[in-house]
Amino acid sequence: MGILDGEALPIVEVRPRQGGYDYKNKYTSGRTEYFCPASFEAANALRIQQAALGAFRAVGGRDYGRVDVMVRPNGEPIVLEVNTLPGMTETSLLPKAAAAAGISFTGLCQRMIDLAMQRAPAVTR
Domain region containing 53:
2-119
Is 114 among the domain residues?
yes
Judged against a pLDDT cut of 60, whether residue 63 lies above it is answered with: yes
Judged against a pLDDT cut of 80, whether residue 125 lies above it is answered with: no
Number of domains in the chain: 1
Is 124 among the domain residues?
no
pLDDT attached to residue 59: 98
Is 125 among the domain residues?
no
- Which residues have C-beta within 8 Å of that of residue 72, sequence separation ≥ 6? 78
pLDDT attached to residue 124: 56
Is 11 among the domain residues?
yes
Alpha helices in 31-92 (DSSP H): 42-58
Report pLDDT digits (tens) over 77-98: 999 999 999 999 877 999 999 9
**Mean pLDDT, residues 48-52 taken together:** 97
The CATH number of the domain holding residue 69 is 3.30.470.20
Closest listed residue to residue 21, CA positions, set 8, 34, 2, 10: 34
pLDDT attached to residue 119: 82
Entry pTM: 0.88
